Amino acid sequence: MKIKSAGLLESAAGANQFPDLVMPEIAFAGRSNVGKSTLINSLLTRKKLVKTSSTPGKTRLINFFLINEIFCLVDLPGYGFAKVPAEMRESWRKLIETYLSRRDNLRGVVLIIDIRHGPTTQDRQLKNWLDFHQRPMLVVASKSDKLSRGKCASKLQKIKKDLELTHLPLPHSSLNKEGRGQIWKALDGWLTSA
Ligand code: GTP
Ligand code: MG
């Protein structure tokens, strides 16, 4: 995919701020700090389009990025960040759930799992929830540069087993770009499906 243009279209704190669009959309979900925003930058070959941070909880709103004027990539706030007050966590959960259940133009969800840590209970819940709502899903194992090849391979198998997936997750590294082509292939499939 050649990226001709990419920009922030909307930052939404509630469903009334979701842009009214019919063009296809792909969302990125996962625990805080797994690398959702970094993956979007990596896919778009833009270093700083999406704000990233080593401190969890950076993305607090749903950010819609318009790409090539024809589709959107959507960065969701991360879940599972213990330091966020319970009330706020609940409001994020509702925001994410509203988005994922109501968005008609959502073609697929990229669920990101840190390859070192594997899925948490919340990741499993989200996976089951997406299955239940029949949302197409791609699991990406982020930060593959942090482990050796052999260790990566065994972690991918473990994530597949833990999440009861039919396919292995795709590894990704924002440092060496491993997996970028394969991830784009999956996203292209969603974007071009009717
Ligand atoms: P929230 O917005 O808080 O939910 O986090 P996020 O999932 O968007 O994570 P973000 O992209 O901000 O990345 C978190 C940290 O992980 C940053 O310090 C990134 O540089 C680092 N990171 C992300 N992807 C990779 C990767 O593939 N390899 C390495 N080594 N570090 C990564
Ligand atoms: Mg983020």
pLDDT attached to residue 100: 94
Residue ranges around ligand 1 (CB below 6 Å): 30, 32-38, 52-54, 56-59, 77-78, 142-143, 145-146, 173-175
pLDDT attached to residue 194: 65
**Cα-to-centroid distance, 57 and ligand 2 (Å):** 7
**Cα-to-centroid distance, 194 and ligand 1 (Å):** 32
**What's the order of all strands across the beta sheet hosting 170-171?**
6-12, 62-67, 71-75, 25-30, 106-114, 137-142, 170-171
The distance between the two most distant Cα atoms of the chain, rounded to a whole number of Å, is: 47
Q: Which atom of ligand 1 is nearest to the CA of 38?
A: 11
pLDDT attached to residue 63: 94
> How many whole angstroms separate alpha carbon 89 and alpha carbon 175?
30
Does residue 174 sit in helix, strand or coil?
coil
Hey, which residues does 52 pair with through a beta bridge? Answer: none
Q: Letter for the amino acid at 79?
A: Y
pLDDT attached to residue 90: 81
> How many whole angstroms separate alpha carbon 128 and alpha carbon 115?
19
Q: Which residues of the chain have pLDDT under 70?
A: 58, 82, 194
